[in-house]
Amino acid sequence: MIAGKSWPQRVLAGATLAVFILFIISLAAPRGAWGLQESKPDTKPGEAAPKEAGAEVSFSKDVLTLFKEQKCTVCHRGENPSGLDLMDEVAYKSLVNAKTNDKESLMVKPGDPEASYLYVKLIGPGRDGTIMPPKGKMEDAEINKVRLWIQQGAKNN
Ligand code: HEC
């Protein structure tokens, strides 16, 4: 189609065609394929912004406070039907490397939120019963605190 033209015209025609093809490809390519996306879609609680991920979560100041704010300790205290005591003095021992009621998994497995039944119960109903707290799922930011604490090694800090 461009035969017979002088070489500058050929070069020009070739370049125009190349730009056009690139343009079409860029329209057809899925969003993000060119690294133009500002940030990855982040729906998973815990995949927090780097700033938040860097801050150390304290068990006593953050997690235990959350349990009180969320009234977890109204039900989870002493000898209760749920079999989990979240009162200050015993909460750490009841959670970290402790078996769940059905002995299927660990309540908190340090470094591994997905394998920690506490975290599973906060994002969904778990194997049985309901989501925790039963009145409804907590805010993502609150669930993130627990997730980060587990991810950071579930320290007794
Ligand atoms: C209204 C009472 C009530 C409140 C408030 C409550 N829970 Fe529970 N929780 C229960 C009962 C009853 C069970 C046992 C049945 C089940 O697994 O759903 C349970 C089970 C659990 C389990 C699983 C225990 C196991 O070994 O299977 C976890 C973990 C848990 N709760 C964490 C929490 C946390 C954290 C909060 C606060 C954010 C909370 N719960 C608030 C009543 C409550």
Please report whether residue 45 resides in a domain.
no
Rounded Cα distance, 99 and 46, in Å: 23
How much is the pTM? 0.74
Question: Across all residues in the chain, what is the average pLDDT?
Answer: 82
Nearest Cα residue to atom 31 of ligand 1 = 132
Tell me, using a 6 A CB cutoff, whether residue 136 lines ligand 1: no
Query: Looking at the predicted structure, is the pLDDT value of residue 150 above 50?
Result: yes
Of the chain, the percentage scoring pLDDT greater than 70 comes to 69
Q: How far is the CA of 124 from the CAs of 54, 133, 136, 151, in angstroms?
A: 26, 10, 10, 19
pLDDT average, residue stretch 25-36: 52
Q: Are residues 7 and 65 in the same domain?
A: no
Tell me, using a 6 A CB cutoff, whether residue 19 lines ligand 1: no
Q: How many angstroms is it from 82 CA to the middle of ligand 1?
A: 6
Query: Looking at the predicted structure, is the pLDDT value of residue 18 above 70?
Result: no
Domain span holding position 11: 1-36
Please report whether residue 29 resides in a domain.
yes
Tell me, using a 6 A CB cutoff, whether residue 84 lines ligand 1: yes
pLDDT average, residue stretch 10-19: 69
Q: Are residues 128 and 54 in the same domain?
A: yes
CB atoms within 10 A of CB 41: 8
* Burial (Cβ within 10 Å: 0-12, 13-18, ≥19) of residue 107: buried
Q: Are residues 71 and 107 in the same domain?
A: yes
Q: Are residues 10 and 80 in the same domain?
A: no
Rounded Cα distance, 125 and 131, in Å: 4
Nearest Cα residue to atom 29 of ligand 1 = 118
CB atoms within 10 A of CB 152: 17
Tell me, using a 6 A CB cutoff, whether residue 82 lines ligand 1: yes
Nearest Cα residue to atom 17 of ligand 1 = 129
Please report whether residue 44 resides in a domain.
no
Q: How far is CA 45 from the centre of its chain?
A: 3
The count of domains in the chain is 2
Please report whether residue 42 resides in a domain.
no
